[in-house]
């Protein structure tokens, strides 16, 4: 969850259906199979882009009735603490006139909770959402009236600093997969009738493989996300020029590393990512090291990553849990359970990367973590 924008260099998904409602769902597998039959197997990135574009265009996937739940939907504390992180950084940067941005904002829950916390700290700013899903835009409008929507980050304000939040955004951007046989190959998706399966494409030259992995054992998988790098570089360039910051929170690792992390989730359970494209959420783990390097290449400063546990702990989740429980004793047990989910269940798998303009201060919970 929940990346509903395309990077400029991401291959256009074949025969992507229009975002007009649930009635188009059944057509996507047939359309993909037909495109593959006509033009041959397609890269995993192209398959993932087409499947996720359809998936997010046709439903609200969140909550008990959906396919997955994100941290903002678990507890108001998550969005409130992210909002306080933004407000603290803005305050120490001299309280400039800023634009607050969220990439892939789900139902708008994080934005609503963050805005409430930021307002108490003195930061009231226009809200900008980068979102293309009609279903999710409707939900966001209910929670954050007056927000401005963008299809890509290119149309965000260019006359002021940007404070950008990306929670579970980068994991759903298309990934490229390389697979090792005797040589390294691009991993493609083939189709036989409506059966989709990954296959090895043409061999790749050694020059495109990081040297430590050139002699990896057969069966190894190497993942990259050109789409994620393009978006980070574009935003980092804007932040370095205009001022501001970005915080990205997602599940991932400090690369480079080998492994197949492509997964599908439907009905809160794992599914086969190569079955029923467009009917479940496709995601992959985020390489935070690569994103940090992309930001630095554009003149921004990268901080972290730190674990979600350290981020929320450093922002005062224990104090906030206690305050909410004191104000509503009947909720004390559920608040403690929510804290455990955020800190224990998700605390080490999820990580946070911060990116700031060179002139902006060290972000809270990232002291000593500048890259």
State residue 287's pLDDT score: 97
Helix (H, G, I), strand (E, B) or coil at 122: coil
Nearest to 174 by CA among 346, 4, 354: 4
pLDDT tens readout for residues 42-56? 999 999 999 999 988
Q: Exposed, middle or buried: residue 202 (CB in 10 Å: 0-12, 13-18, 19+)?
A: exposed
Are 282 and 56 spatial neighbours (Cβ–Cβ below 8 Å)?
no
DSSP letter string, 83-111: HHHHHHHHHHTT----EEEEES-TTSHHH
State residue 255's pLDDT score: 86
The answer on pLDDT for 229 being more than 80 is: yes
**Interior CA angle at 192 toward 44 and 258, to 5°?**
30
pLDDT tens readout for residues 237-266? 999 999 999 999 999 999 889 999 999 988
Percent of the chain exceeding pLDDT 90 equals: 82
State residue 159's pLDDT score: 96
Interval 332-343 mean pLDDT: 97
Nearest to 126 by CA among 145, 154, 113: 145
State residue 17's pLDDT score: 31
> What single-letter DSSP state applies at residue 150?
E
Q: Which helix (H) or strand (E) holds 159?
A: none
State residue 371's pLDDT score: 57
pTM of the shown model: 0.89
State residue 64's pLDDT score: 67
For residue 65, name the pLDDT band (cuts at 50, 70, 90).
low
pLDDT tens readout for residues 267-300? 878 899 999 998 889 999 999 999 999 999 999 9
Interval 324-330 mean pLDDT: 97
């Amino acid at each position: 969850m929940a990346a509903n924008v395309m990077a400029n260099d991401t291959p256009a998904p074949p025969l992507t259906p229009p975002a007009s409602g649930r009635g188009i769902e059944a057509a996507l597998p047939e359309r993909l199979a037909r495109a593959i039959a006509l033009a041959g197997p397609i890269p995993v990135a192209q398959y993932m882009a087409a499947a996720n574009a359809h998936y997010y265009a046709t439903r609200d996937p969140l909550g008990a009735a959906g396919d997955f739940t994100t941290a903002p939907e678990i507890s108001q504390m998550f969005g409130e603490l992210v909002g306080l992180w933004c407000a603290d950084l803005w305050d120490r940067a001299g309280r400039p006139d800023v634009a607050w941005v969220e990439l892939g904002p789900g139902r708008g829950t994080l934005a609503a909770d963050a805005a409430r916390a930021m307002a108490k700290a003195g930061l009231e700013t226009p809200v900008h959402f980068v979102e293309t899903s009609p279903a999710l835009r409707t939900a966001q409008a209910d929670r954050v009236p007056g927000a401005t929507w963008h299809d890509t980050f290119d149309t965000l304000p260019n006359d002021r600093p940007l404070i950008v939040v990306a929670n579970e955004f980068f994991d759903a951007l298309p990934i490229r997969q390389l697979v090792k046989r005797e040589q390294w190959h691009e991993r493609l998706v083939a189709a036989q009738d409506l059966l989709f399966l990954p296959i090895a494409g043409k061999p790749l030259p050694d020059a495109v493989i990081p040297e430590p992995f050139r002699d990896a054992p057969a069966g190894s998988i190497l993942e990259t996300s050109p789409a994620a790098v393009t978006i980070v570089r574009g935003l980092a360039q804007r932040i370095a020029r205009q001022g501001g910051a970005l915080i990205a929170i997602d599940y991932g690792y400090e690369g480079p590393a080998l492994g197949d992390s492509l997964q599908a989730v439907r009905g809160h359970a794992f599914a086969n990512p190569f079955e029923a494209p467009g009917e479940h959420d496709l995601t992959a783990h985020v390489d935070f090291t690569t994103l940090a390097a992309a930001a630095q290449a554009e003149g921004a400063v990268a901080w972290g990553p730190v674990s979600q546990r350290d981020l929320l702990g450093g922002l005062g989740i224990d104090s906030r849990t206690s305050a909410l429980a004191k104000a509503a004793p009947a909720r004390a047990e559920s608040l403690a359970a929510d804290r455990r989910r955020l800190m224990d269940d998700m605390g080490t798998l999820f990580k946070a990367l911060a990116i700031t303009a060179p002139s902006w201060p060290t972000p809270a919970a990232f002291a000593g973590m500048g890259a």
